[in-house]
Amino acid sequence: MAYDAKGFRTHDFMFNPSGAAGSNLSKHSYVTNDDQAAVETAGYFNALKTRVKKGDHIDMTLALGTTPVRRNYIVSNVTSTAVTIAAQNVA
């Protein structure tokens, strides 16, 4: 499948102690029938390039149609064309 905006929500922001303008980080959730391999595929979250920034957290509920799992990711990079995420709980 592909990224579905209906499953994505921004919930809150976290204060960044650096104090730099625009440096606060956001907390997001994403729910999908896709599995871990799918959401970790390069380009999966590119549609979010204007909504997320490096350091944002995404709490995901994956594989709803089979055996649901919860995974946490951090946005590791954002460019004008791409969003890269990194798994934070890999067990």
In tens, the pLDDT along 2-59 reads: 899 999 999 987 776 666 666 788 999 999 999 999 999 999 999 999 999 999 999 9
Is 28 in contact with 45 (CB distance < 8 Å)? no
Farthest-apart Cα atoms in the chain, separation: 43
What span, in angstroms and rounded, lies between the C-alpha atoms of 43 and 37? 12
Bridging pattern class, strands 25-31 and 83-87: unpaired
Structure confidence at residue 19 (pLDDT): 65
What's the distance, CA 26 to chain centroid? 10
Answer whether residue 90 shows pLDDT above 80.
no
What span, in angstroms and rounded, lies between the C-alpha atoms of 19 and 34? 37
Structure confidence at residue 25 (pLDDT): 86
Looking at the DSSP bridge assignments, the partners of residue 43 are none
Structure confidence at residue 21 (pLDDT): 61
What span, in angstroms and rounded, lies between the C-alpha atoms of 8 and 53? 15
The amino acid that residue 34 corresponds to is D
**pTM recorded for the entire structure:** 0.86
